[in-house]
Structure 1
Amino acid sequence: MMNTPCNIYLRLWPKLNLKIYRRCQQWILLNNQVSPTLHKKCVLARFYSHAVNGNYTHDSTIFSLSSGHGKCGVAVVRVSGPATWSVLQNIAQFKEKPAPRLALVRKLVNPNTRIVIDKGLVLYFQGPHSFTGEDSAEFQVHGGPAVVAALLGALHGVPGCRQALPGEFTKRAFQNAKLDLTEVEGLGDLIHAETEVQRRQALRQMEGDLGHLYQQWRTDIIKSVADLEAFIDFSEDQDIEDEVVQQVHARVGKLNDEIARHLDDKRQGERLREGVHVAIIGEPNVGKSSLLNAICQRPAAIVNDVAGTTRDVIETHVSLGGYPVLLSDTAGLRETEDKVEKEGVRRALQRAQQADVKVLVFDISRLQGQREPLRNMYQFIQHEIETLGLNDFNKEEHPDNVFDVRTKSKKNERVSYSSSFLKDYIIVFNKLDIVEEINIQNIIGQSKERSVQTNTVEADEQHGNGVPIVTEGDLTTYCISCTSGKGMDALVTALTRKVEQMCGNPLSGHPSLTQARHRAHLTACVAHLDHFRSGRPGGDIVLQSESLRRALREIGKLTGRITTEDILDVIFHDFCIGK
């Protein structure tokens, strides 16, 4: 064996260190040779060096502050790993192992200096009956920064202990089969949940509802693969009927339909997890910033009577009925030569295109000089959308559902339209406080197709008379005043209802997709199942079974369980071959 640095690595594997690794790197640079094999060995050596010298393996015991940083009443420090009992002996001064899950008051000391750190509660969790599946312990001490720092410093002094990496406790729980990947993601979502409905969805996923659904699908595919494998290998020697293949096709067809329905969820779970994007758009000085402030109930945006005050997108997170909403105020849409404002308009149009809900705001006071009322609300909105430059992306998103204005003759103009793309819009007429009630009726008018209702909810001592809510076909517009608050309750209720429809109820029906990763793997799984079903009857079963194996691999990536042993277990269990 030649004395190359990599061969030295292999011979000195138990004694690796960072210095040898760097020598290997220098040798590669000097000899100008970067072969894939050599590079792979170097990377492996680097990893093993960390494992031996840095203790980044399951032989190490990790600890970390699990409660929040800063001053608090009680701080919780967690320990997990094989040296947990040593920690309890050295710091909590136990002479024998305590009973699991029993809280005991102990005096905590530094094992090196024997100085008392604090007096607190100590709990011992014996593996595998712990969060990580390993022997674990918790120290509940007073939450002062000095106390926490002293305890962490004492843990550093225990042989085999090190500070945990971010998420390492949960990673060990996954590696010890205490959690699957969907439950890990649910735990992360629960920690970051900001609204009540987000909490419900995350808790349901963390409890394993989504993982159980995927596991059931995985079991069905394993069964199908096992049946095909048995038919391929043993159909001539054993009593395995040809109907097995037909049963597999029926099972795969049913599974394919279930996954397809699961994918066709209109991104409800993802929207609930990330928040529904709502963009407030309109001309300058129509009250967009005032509306943002009124909904979030704080001065998040600057309000001024000078047109063009808002030049950039202003975002704020709000909770509507327990649903998360990312509310965006945008620059006023108009033609301008100002470079800064032009960029603001571009960003406003871009945000409107990306938004799940678009709140289109008009200034109703600018319409009171019109001689005729708005006889056709659809036609008015169409004209405004085209004027503001919003019609371009509406045509891209809904090419078959844009307005179609046709003229039969010069004397008799007939307008036909389809308003399905307006389902993502909420139409608002603002500045109701500066328009007299009689003028409102003149502006909006009435016709056979239009219903003008008075919102009785708003009829109270503070707001006076009710405010009109105009309904024409499936289009509803809301008249409000951001200054007086008139009509705001009805608008917020309508916005909350729309957000709720988009996110759905996370506790009803099957658990929802919550991650783009889930959607990617399931889409690939459906593609493989479709490929299997497209195979000709009596075709090459070996090739067809490969499509099922690939589908199984995609499902396994969802929960983190990818193995062929499960297939072998089913084969020998169901068919009892060779008994």
Structure 2
Amino acid sequence: MASTIYALSSAPGRAGVAVVRVSGPQAGDAVIALCGDLPKHRFASLRKLRNAEGVPIDEALVLWFEKPNSFTGEDVAELHIHGGRAVLAALFEALAKVPGLRLAEPGEFSRRAFENGRLDLTEAEGLGDLINAETEAQRRQALRQMQGGLSDLYEGWRARLTHALAHLEADIDFADEDLPEGVAAEVRPQVARLREEIAGHLADNRRGERLRDGLMVAILGAPNVGKSSLLNALARREAAIVSDLPGTTRDVIEVHLDLGGYPVILADTAGLRDTADMVENEGVRRALKRAEAADLKLVVLDATRDVVPPETLQLIDRDAIVIANKIDAGSIPENYTINGRPVLPVSVRSREGMDALLAALEQEVTARIGLTGSAGITRARHREALTDCVAALDRFLAGNGRNNQAPELAAEDVRLAARSLGRITGRIDVEDLLDVIFRDFCIGK
């Protein structure tokens, strides 16, 4: 980190204001080269920026943050300039001529913040999620994680394991000393309680990951029941082709929705039926595959038909919302249910029943990915590390209880459990993860 980096931290393209960030040991030299002196720490100052030849570049707000009280923990300058392409190009040309400066790589500011102890890995991931959040619930989850919701939880668990490990190792290292009897035995119920807490945290039905990535909802049913029309109605645009001809939809069409603040990926699929058409048959195969992968299914029936096709009937389970479309031309019995699921009467054409459908859909989405009182797991790597932690604690509890396990092996299991938690926040053994975590950040972050 001997070099000083700079990059555009605001969105690219023409804008009223653009923010250029500079971080590193030569950040102060860069500011002096541009405007003659250093502004007061943490105060916004209006300055004229000039290049090395003294030619004016722009009039800008300059903010100066002395290390370690900055985002990266280094000396940092922020230059708030007018957001024209020519202004930005002139400023970058001037910065490139300052000795020791170079363009930042993607995520390099955040990586420096991590390496200087300003963020841990979960907080850095929360920051990335906050930048990419598209719905209110995603924003709230990301902000909670960025502010330490997950790291506080995991570091608290790790501290408890470290305390337990200290007792186990004291029993090993000072076996000949006058220690209180049963020190190691007291550890077992503590570890058992912690193991249950972590296992309960894991048993979340992947709520946090689904919220971060979006809930997968598949629209399924026979040909010509109105699946594509339903997709267009929910998306409020013509996302799919609608035709009276059976088999019009032959591939999966996805639309991203913000439903009550929650992200939903809605997929229209091919009509389910036996067909000799090779292309349509592939569409049916993809529809069934999407049904298996979906978190929630919208199974569409035709209210003008008396019989539910068997291909449709087998999809109706507890993860299905059943819809009888075309009630403007037909009808269904009152309080009608199929496979124990209520059937919602709807007419996509007249929009009758659509408000009730939206309410039911929002209720199901909220039940699956709604925010809870505590921070949730948001990434597969968190889940993998927590699973490893529980496995190590299970070995400790089983060996320490039944097989009279050697105390050194028991301590090693607790140590491995603590290391698994440390990998999540970045306290230990994470060098190989850093490139993966930070490479998806934008250049100026």
The TM tier, using the shorter chain, reads over 0.9
Shift of 1:474: 5.0
Q: 1:366 is paired with a residue of what secondary structure? A: coil
Q: Which residue is equivalent to 2:411?
A: 545
Q: Which residue is equivalent to 2:44?
A: 103
1:228-267 matches, cutoff 5 A: 228-237=168-177, 239-267=178-206
Shift of 1:117: 0.6
2:349 maps to 1:483: yes
Report the AA paired with residue 98 of structure 2.
V
Q: Which residue is equivalent to 1:307?
A: 246
- Runs in 1 of length 4+ with deviation above 6 angstroms? none
- Of 179, 191, 215, which residue of structure 2 is paired with 1:276? 215
1:343-354 matches, cutoff 5 A: 343-354=282-293
Q: 1:231 is paired with a residue of what secondary structure? A: helix
| 1:251-285 superposed Cα distances (whole Å, 9 cap, x missing partner) | 11111000000001111111111111000001111
2:23 maps to 1:80: yes
How far apart, in 2, do the equivalents of 1:196 and 1:188 lie? Answer: 15
| TM-align CA RMSD | 1.5
Q: Which residue is equivalent to 2:427?
A: 561
Shift of 1:147: 0.4
Shift of 1:242: 2.9
| 1:60-106 superposed Cα distances (whole Å, 9 cap, x missing partner) | 00000000011000000000000011011101211xx4321100011
Q: Are the equivalent residues in 2 in contact too, given 1:67–1:76 (CA < 8 A)?
A: yes
1:356-371 matches, cutoff 5 A: 356-367=295-306
Shift of 1:346: 0.6
1:294-333 matches, cutoff 5 A: 294-333=233-272
| 1:332-390 superposed Cα distances (whole Å, 9 cap, x missing partner) | 111111111111111111001100111111111122xxxxxxxxxxxx76xx3x434x7
Shift of 1:110: 1.1
1:383-422 matches, cutoff 5 A: 384=309, 386-388=310-312, 391=314, 422=317
How has the CA–CA distance of structure 1 residues 310 and 473 changed in structure 2, closer, same or farther, with 3 Å as cutoff?
A: closer
How far apart, in 2, do the equivalents of 1:106 and 1:387 lie? Answer: 70
Q: Which residue is equivalent to 2:228?
A: 289
Report the AA paired with residue 110 of structure 1.
N
How far apart, in 2, do the equivalents of 1:549 and 1:323 lie? Answer: 39
How far apart, in 1, do the equivalents of 2:47 and 2:311 lie? Answer: 73
2:16 maps to 1:150: no
How far apart, in 2, do the equivalents of 1:168 and 1:326 lie? Answer: 31
- Of 152, 165, 190, which residue of structure 2 is paired with 1:212? 152
| 1:309-339 superposed Cα distances (whole Å, 9 cap, x missing partner) | 1010000000111110000000011111111
Q: Which residue is equivalent to 1:409?
A: none
Q: Are the equivalent residues in 1 in contact too, given 2:39–2:62 (CA < 8 A)?
A: no
Q: Are the equivalent residues in 2 in contact too, given 1:235–1:241 (CA < 8 A)?
A: no
Q: Are the equivalent residues in 2 in contact too, given 1:267–1:513 (CA < 8 A)?
A: yes
Report the AA paired with residue 159 of structure 2.
T
- Of 424, 431, 434, which residue of structure 1 is paired with 2:319? 424
How far apart, in 2, do the equivalents of 1:536 and 1:474 lie? Answer: 47
How far apart, in 2, do the equivalents of 1:137 and 1:183 lie? Answer: 22
| 1:421-471 superposed Cα distances (whole Å, 9 cap, x missing partner) | 721001111111122xxxx2xx52xxxxxxx3xxxxxxxxxxxxxxxx645
Q: Are the equivalent residues in 1 in contact too, given 2:272–2:311 (CA < 8 A)?
A: no
Q: Which residue is equivalent to 2:120?
A: 180
Shift of 1:553: 1.2
Shift of 1:517: 0.9
How far apart, in 2, do the equivalents of 1:295 and 1:528 lie? Answer: 47
1:512-527 matches, cutoff 5 A: 512-527=376-391
Shift of 1:230: 1.6
How far apart, in 2, do the equivalents of 1:196 and 1:518 lie? Answer: 23
Q: 1:149 is paired with a residue of what secondary structure? A: helix
How far apart, in 2, do the equivalents of 1:539 and 1:521 lie? Answer: 24
Q: Which residue is equivalent to 2:434?
A: none
2:142 maps to 1:202: yes
2:423 maps to 1:528: no
Shift of 1:509: 2.1
2:30 maps to 1:166: no
How far apart, in 1, do the equivalents of 2:54 and 2:395 lie? Answer: 68
| 1:188-231 superposed Cα distances (whole Å, 9 cap, x missing partner) | 11011100011011100100011100000010111111111121
| 1:458-507 superposed Cα distances (whole Å, 9 cap, x missing partner) | xxxxxxxxxxx6457952111111111111010011001000000122xx
Corresponding residue pairs, total: 427
Report the AA paired with residue 499 of structure 1.
V
Q: Which residue is equivalent to 2:374?
A: 510
Report the AA paired with residue 520 of structure 1.
E
Q: Which residue is equivalent to 2:435?
A: none
Report the AA paired with residue 518 of structure 1.
H
Report the AA paired with residue 41 of structure 2.
P
Report the AA paired with residue 480 of structure 1.
V
How far apart, in 1, do the equivalents of 2:341 and 2:84 lie? Answer: 58
